[in-house]
Chains A and B, each alone.
Chain A
Amino acid sequence: MSLVVNLVLLVFLLVMALAVLKTRHLFAMAMLFGLYSLLVAGLFVVLDAPDVAFTEAAVGTGISTVLMLVTLASIKDGHELISTQKSRTAPLIICVLMGGLLIYGTHDIAELGEVESAPHTQVAARYIGKGKEETGVPNLVTAVLASYRGFDTLGEVTVVLTAGIGVLMLLGSRKKIRIRKVSNGK
Protein backbone atom coordinates (compact mmCIF):
# COMPACT_ATOMS: atom_id res chain seq x y z
CA MET A 1 0.00 0.00 0.00
CA SER A 2 2.78 2.39 1.01
CA LEU A 3 4.52 1.58 -2.28
CA VAL A 4 1.46 2.61 -4.31
CA VAL A 5 1.10 5.86 -2.37
CA ASN A 6 4.80 6.58 -2.74
CA LEU A 7 4.69 5.85 -6.45
CA VAL A 8 1.68 8.09 -7.07
CA LEU A 9 3.21 10.95 -5.05
CA LEU A 10 6.60 10.67 -6.75
CA VAL A 11 5.09 10.48 -10.24
CA PHE A 12 2.99 13.56 -9.55
CA LEU A 13 6.07 15.28 -8.12
CA LEU A 14 7.86 14.62 -11.41
CA VAL A 15 4.85 15.80 -13.43
CA MET A 16 4.70 18.96 -11.33
CA ALA A 17 8.41 19.65 -11.81
CA LEU A 18 8.07 19.23 -15.60
CA ALA A 19 4.98 21.43 -15.61
CA VAL A 20 6.91 24.16 -13.80
CA LEU A 21 9.58 23.90 -16.49
CA LYS A 22 7.05 24.02 -19.31
CA THR A 23 4.76 26.81 -18.17
CA ARG A 24 5.53 30.38 -19.23
CA HIS A 25 3.09 32.11 -16.92
CA LEU A 26 4.55 33.13 -13.58
CA PHE A 27 1.21 32.98 -11.68
CA ALA A 28 0.74 29.38 -12.83
CA MET A 29 4.33 28.66 -11.83
CA ALA A 30 3.72 29.97 -8.29
CA MET A 31 0.62 27.79 -7.93
CA LEU A 32 2.49 24.74 -9.27
CA PHE A 33 5.24 25.29 -6.70
CA GLY A 34 2.53 25.28 -4.04
CA LEU A 35 1.23 21.95 -5.33
CA TYR A 36 4.79 20.62 -5.39
CA SER A 37 5.14 21.48 -1.69
CA LEU A 38 1.83 19.79 -0.93
CA LEU A 39 3.06 16.58 -2.58
CA VAL A 40 6.31 16.76 -0.62
CA ALA A 41 4.23 17.17 2.55
CA GLY A 42 2.35 14.01 1.55
CA LEU A 43 5.67 12.19 1.17
CA PHE A 44 6.70 13.30 4.66
CA VAL A 45 3.49 11.81 6.05
CA VAL A 46 4.32 8.51 4.33
CA LEU A 47 7.79 8.70 5.93
CA ASP A 48 6.13 9.01 9.39
CA ALA A 49 7.21 12.62 9.87
CA PRO A 50 3.92 14.44 10.51
CA ASP A 51 5.65 17.35 12.27
CA VAL A 52 7.71 18.14 9.19
CA ALA A 53 4.71 17.54 6.92
CA PHE A 54 2.76 20.10 8.94
CA THR A 55 5.46 22.70 8.44
CA GLU A 56 5.88 21.91 4.75
CA ALA A 57 2.14 22.10 4.09
CA ALA A 58 1.68 25.34 6.01
CA VAL A 59 4.83 27.16 4.93
CA GLY A 60 5.51 25.71 1.46
CA THR A 61 1.95 25.48 0.23
CA GLY A 62 0.36 28.31 2.17
CA ILE A 63 2.58 31.18 3.14
CA SER A 64 5.28 31.10 0.48
CA THR A 65 2.75 30.67 -2.36
CA VAL A 66 0.79 33.65 -1.08
CA LEU A 67 3.98 35.71 -0.72
CA MET A 68 5.00 34.83 -4.30
CA LEU A 69 1.53 35.77 -5.59
CA VAL A 70 1.59 39.07 -3.71
CA THR A 71 5.03 39.84 -5.10
CA LEU A 72 3.77 39.12 -8.62
CA ALA A 73 0.68 41.23 -8.01
CA SER A 74 2.81 44.20 -6.98
CA ILE A 75 4.52 44.12 -10.38
CA LYS A 76 2.26 45.46 -13.09
CA ASP A 77 3.71 43.58 -16.03
CA GLY A 78 6.33 40.97 -16.73
CA HIS A 79 4.14 38.03 -15.69
CA GLU A 80 5.14 36.07 -18.78
CA LEU A 81 8.51 34.42 -19.02
CA ILE A 82 10.19 35.47 -22.25
CA SER A 83 12.23 32.68 -23.79
CA THR A 84 15.47 33.79 -25.37
CA GLN A 85 17.41 32.31 -28.24
CA LYS A 86 20.60 31.90 -26.19
CA SER A 87 22.45 28.62 -26.23
CA ARG A 88 21.35 26.25 -23.49
CA THR A 89 24.31 23.86 -23.52
CA ALA A 90 26.21 25.44 -20.62
CA PRO A 91 23.21 25.36 -18.19
CA LEU A 92 22.49 21.79 -19.28
CA ILE A 93 26.07 20.68 -18.55
CA ILE A 94 25.99 22.39 -15.13
CA CYS A 95 22.65 20.76 -14.26
CA VAL A 96 23.78 17.30 -15.34
CA LEU A 97 27.06 17.66 -13.41
CA MET A 98 25.25 18.89 -10.29
CA GLY A 99 22.66 16.14 -10.52
CA GLY A 100 25.40 13.53 -10.97
CA LEU A 101 27.23 14.85 -7.91
CA LEU A 102 24.04 14.72 -5.82
CA ILE A 103 23.29 11.15 -6.92
CA TYR A 104 26.90 10.19 -6.14
CA GLY A 105 26.46 11.83 -2.72
CA THR A 106 23.38 9.76 -1.90
CA HIS A 107 25.54 6.63 -1.77
CA ASP A 108 26.97 7.82 1.54
CA ILE A 109 23.54 8.28 3.13
CA ALA A 110 22.57 5.40 5.37
CA GLU A 111 19.56 3.29 4.41
CA LEU A 112 16.21 4.54 5.72
CA GLY A 113 15.72 3.17 9.23
CA GLU A 114 19.20 1.60 9.37
CA VAL A 115 19.85 0.88 13.06
CA GLU A 116 23.64 0.91 12.76
CA SER A 117 23.88 4.37 11.14
CA ALA A 118 25.65 7.14 13.05
CA PRO A 119 22.67 9.30 14.13
CA HIS A 120 20.84 6.28 15.52
CA THR A 121 23.73 5.00 17.60
CA GLN A 122 24.66 8.31 19.24
CA VAL A 123 22.19 10.69 20.92
CA ALA A 124 18.98 9.37 19.32
CA ALA A 125 19.07 6.24 21.47
CA ARG A 126 19.13 8.38 24.62
CA TYR A 127 16.29 10.61 23.34
CA ILE A 128 14.11 7.65 22.46
CA GLY A 129 14.92 5.71 25.61
CA LYS A 130 14.75 8.48 28.20
CA GLY A 131 12.88 11.32 26.43
CA LYS A 132 9.43 10.78 27.89
CA GLU A 133 10.82 9.95 31.31
CA GLU A 134 12.99 13.09 31.49
CA THR A 135 10.67 15.69 29.95
CA GLY A 136 7.20 14.26 30.53
CA VAL A 137 6.29 15.04 26.92
CA PRO A 138 4.98 12.12 24.84
CA ASN A 139 5.71 13.77 21.48
CA LEU A 140 9.42 13.09 21.09
CA VAL A 141 9.89 15.71 18.36
CA THR A 142 8.67 18.46 20.68
CA ALA A 143 10.83 17.13 23.51
CA VAL A 144 13.96 17.17 21.34
CA LEU A 145 13.25 20.56 19.73
CA ALA A 146 12.17 22.43 22.83
CA SER A 147 14.19 20.82 25.59
CA TYR A 148 17.23 18.85 24.43
CA ARG A 149 17.88 21.23 21.55
CA GLY A 150 16.54 24.37 23.22
CA PHE A 151 19.51 26.44 22.15
CA ASP A 152 19.01 25.57 18.47
CA THR A 153 15.34 26.47 18.62
CA LEU A 154 16.16 29.79 20.28
CA GLY A 155 18.50 30.44 17.35
CA GLU A 156 15.78 29.51 14.86
CA VAL A 157 13.26 31.86 16.44
CA THR A 158 15.84 34.63 16.39
CA VAL A 159 16.44 33.93 12.70
CA VAL A 160 12.70 34.30 12.01
CA LEU A 161 12.67 37.61 13.89
CA THR A 162 15.79 38.80 12.05
CA ALA A 163 14.22 37.93 8.69
CA GLY A 164 11.15 39.95 9.63
CA ILE A 165 13.29 42.91 10.69
CA GLY A 166 15.27 42.68 7.44
CA VAL A 167 12.14 42.76 5.27
CA LEU A 168 10.72 45.63 7.32
CA MET A 169 13.92 47.63 6.89
CA LEU A 170 13.99 47.00 3.14
CA LEU A 171 10.31 47.38 2.26
CA GLY A 172 8.57 48.72 5.35
CA SER A 173 8.99 52.42 4.66
CA ARG A 174 5.84 54.41 5.27
CA LYS A 175 6.03 56.25 1.98
CA LYS A 176 4.64 53.32 -0.03
CA ILE A 177 7.16 53.45 -2.83
CA ARG A 178 5.87 51.54 -5.83
CA ILE A 179 8.19 49.06 -7.47
CA ARG A 180 7.26 50.42 -10.87
CA LYS A 181 5.31 53.45 -11.95
CA VAL A 182 2.21 52.73 -14.02
CA SER A 183 3.12 54.32 -17.33
CA ASN A 184 0.50 53.10 -19.76
CA GLY A 185 -3.24 52.73 -19.37
CA LYS A 186 -4.35 54.52 -16.21
Chain B
Amino acid sequence: MANDLILRVITKWLSPIIILFALYVQFHGDYSPGGGFQAGVIFSSAILLYSLTYGLDAALQLIPEYILRIGASLGVLIYGGVGVASMILGGNFLNYSVLGSTPVAGQHLGIIIIELGVGITVASVMVLLFFTFARRVAPE
Protein backbone atom coordinates (compact mmCIF):
# COMPACT_ATOMS: atom_id res chain seq x y z
CA MET B 1 0.00 0.00 0.00
CA ALA B 2 3.01 2.27 0.47
CA ASN B 3 2.98 3.50 -3.13
CA ASP B 4 -0.66 4.49 -3.37
CA LEU B 5 -0.63 8.25 -3.92
CA ILE B 6 -4.26 8.85 -2.92
CA LEU B 7 -3.89 6.94 0.33
CA ARG B 8 -0.66 8.72 1.19
CA VAL B 9 -2.10 12.19 0.62
CA ILE B 10 -5.36 11.46 2.43
CA THR B 11 -3.47 9.98 5.38
CA LYS B 12 -1.23 13.00 5.57
CA TRP B 13 -4.25 15.27 5.77
CA LEU B 14 -6.32 13.07 8.02
CA SER B 15 -3.81 12.06 10.70
CA PRO B 16 -3.40 15.51 12.30
CA ILE B 17 -7.17 15.99 12.34
CA ILE B 18 -7.67 12.63 14.06
CA ILE B 19 -5.01 13.53 16.64
CA LEU B 20 -6.63 16.92 17.20
CA PHE B 21 -9.99 15.21 17.68
CA ALA B 22 -8.39 12.80 20.15
CA LEU B 23 -7.02 15.73 22.17
CA TYR B 24 -10.46 17.37 22.08
CA VAL B 25 -12.11 14.17 23.35
CA GLN B 26 -9.41 13.91 26.03
CA PHE B 27 -9.58 17.41 27.46
CA HIS B 28 -13.23 18.15 26.77
CA GLY B 29 -14.32 14.81 28.22
CA ASP B 30 -15.71 16.41 31.36
CA TYR B 31 -18.14 18.54 29.34
CA SER B 32 -19.01 16.35 26.36
CA PRO B 33 -19.03 12.60 25.70
CA GLY B 34 -15.63 11.03 25.79
CA GLY B 35 -12.72 10.73 28.17
CA GLY B 36 -9.33 9.19 28.51
CA PHE B 37 -10.15 5.75 27.16
CA GLN B 38 -11.89 6.98 24.00
CA ALA B 39 -9.23 9.62 23.40
CA GLY B 40 -6.44 7.06 23.73
CA VAL B 41 -8.08 4.74 21.22
CA ILE B 42 -8.73 7.57 18.74
CA PHE B 43 -5.14 8.78 19.09
CA SER B 44 -3.79 5.29 18.46
CA SER B 45 -6.02 4.91 15.40
CA ALA B 46 -4.24 7.90 13.84
CA ILE B 47 -0.88 6.15 14.34
CA LEU B 48 -2.38 2.90 13.01
CA LEU B 49 -3.62 4.68 9.87
CA TYR B 50 -0.18 6.21 9.38
CA SER B 51 1.65 2.91 9.73
CA LEU B 52 -0.86 1.08 7.49
CA THR B 53 -0.20 3.59 4.71
CA TYR B 54 3.46 4.45 5.15
CA GLY B 55 4.70 1.14 6.53
CA LEU B 56 5.78 -0.01 9.96
CA ASP B 57 9.30 1.38 9.73
CA ALA B 58 8.07 4.94 9.13
CA ALA B 59 5.70 4.62 12.10
CA LEU B 60 8.51 3.28 14.28
CA GLN B 61 10.54 6.35 13.34
CA LEU B 62 7.62 8.51 14.39
CA ILE B 63 7.14 6.77 17.74
CA PRO B 64 9.91 4.39 18.81
CA GLU B 65 8.77 1.38 20.76
CA TYR B 66 10.58 2.24 23.99
CA ILE B 67 8.55 5.46 24.25
CA LEU B 68 5.37 3.39 24.01
CA ARG B 69 6.60 1.05 26.75
CA ILE B 70 7.38 4.02 28.98
CA GLY B 71 4.03 5.64 28.12
CA ALA B 72 2.05 2.51 28.95
CA SER B 73 3.54 2.37 32.44
CA LEU B 74 3.58 6.15 32.91
CA GLY B 75 -0.20 6.43 32.54
CA VAL B 76 -0.88 3.93 35.33
CA LEU B 77 1.81 5.66 37.41
CA ILE B 78 0.08 9.05 36.95
CA TYR B 79 -3.23 7.51 37.97
CA GLY B 80 -1.77 5.82 41.04
CA GLY B 81 0.29 8.92 41.79
CA VAL B 82 -2.84 11.05 42.06
CA GLY B 83 -4.16 8.51 44.58
CA VAL B 84 -0.96 8.63 46.61
CA ALA B 85 -0.83 12.43 46.38
CA SER B 86 -4.32 12.68 47.81
CA MET B 87 -3.25 10.35 50.64
CA ILE B 88 -0.22 12.56 51.40
CA LEU B 89 -2.46 15.63 51.48
CA GLY B 90 -4.59 13.96 54.13
CA GLY B 91 -7.45 12.37 52.21
CA ASN B 92 -8.29 8.80 51.31
CA PHE B 93 -6.71 7.03 48.32
CA LEU B 94 -8.10 8.64 45.11
CA ASN B 95 -10.12 11.20 47.05
CA TYR B 96 -9.45 14.22 44.85
CA SER B 97 -11.24 16.71 47.09
CA VAL B 98 -8.05 17.51 49.01
CA LEU B 99 -6.06 18.34 45.85
CA GLY B 100 -7.47 21.83 45.28
CA SER B 101 -8.38 24.82 47.37
CA THR B 102 -12.04 23.79 47.38
CA PRO B 103 -13.34 20.19 47.16
CA VAL B 104 -14.99 20.85 43.78
CA ALA B 105 -11.81 22.35 42.30
CA GLY B 106 -9.84 19.40 43.66
CA GLN B 107 -12.29 16.92 42.15
CA HIS B 108 -12.09 18.66 38.78
CA LEU B 109 -8.28 18.71 38.84
CA GLY B 110 -8.05 15.06 39.91
CA ILE B 111 -10.46 13.94 37.18
CA ILE B 112 -8.49 15.78 34.48
CA ILE B 113 -5.17 14.29 35.63
CA ILE B 114 -6.36 10.70 35.94
CA GLU B 115 -8.12 10.92 32.56
CA LEU B 116 -4.77 12.01 31.11
CA GLY B 117 -3.16 8.94 32.69
CA VAL B 118 -5.85 6.67 31.23
CA GLY B 119 -5.39 8.26 27.80
CA ILE B 120 -1.61 7.83 27.79
CA THR B 121 -1.79 4.18 28.85
CA VAL B 122 -4.56 3.21 26.42
CA ALA B 123 -2.96 4.99 23.44
CA SER B 124 0.46 3.46 24.16
CA VAL B 125 -0.84 -0.07 24.70
CA MET B 126 -3.03 -0.02 21.56
CA VAL B 127 -0.17 1.16 19.32
CA LEU B 128 2.20 -1.28 21.03
CA LEU B 129 -0.22 -4.16 20.36
CA PHE B 130 -0.43 -3.19 16.70
CA PHE B 131 3.33 -2.86 16.31
CA THR B 132 3.90 -6.21 18.00
CA PHE B 133 1.44 -7.93 15.67
CA ALA B 134 2.56 -6.06 12.55
CA ARG B 135 6.21 -6.95 13.07
CA ARG B 136 5.31 -10.59 12.42
CA VAL B 137 3.93 -9.87 8.96
CA ALA B 138 6.50 -11.21 6.52
CA PRO B 139 7.69 -8.58 4.03
CA GLU B 140 6.21 -9.07 0.58
Interface residues of A (CB under 8 A from B): 50-51, 53-55, 58-59, 62-63, 66-67, 70-71, 73-74, 76, 133-139, 141-143, 145-147, 150-151, 153-154, 156-158, 160-161, 163-164, 167-168, 171-172, 176-179, 182
Contact = CB atoms under 8 A, between A and B. Distances in A.
Main secondary structure of the interface of B (DSSP, over half): helix
A168 B128 CA distance: 8
Interface string B38-62: 1001101100100010000000000
Interface of B: 25, 29-35, 37-38, 41-42, 44-45, 48, 52, 69, 72-73, 75-76, 79-80, 83, 94, 96, 103-105, 107-108, 110-111, 114-115, 117-118, 121-122, 124-126, 128-130, 132-138
B129 A54 contact: no
A137 B94 contact: no
B107 A147 contact: yes
Contacts of B37: 55, 156
Most buried by B among A74, A157, A179: A157
10 contacts: A58-B38, A63-B126, A136-B108, A138-B31, A139-B30, A150-B94, A153-B79, A157-B117, A157-B121, A164-B125
Given A146-B114, A150-B94, A157-B76, A137 B128 contact: no
Contacts of A133: 104
Contacts of B110: 146-147
Nearest to B103: A134
A11 B109 CA distance: 44
B111 A135 contact: yes
A63 B105 CA distance: 35
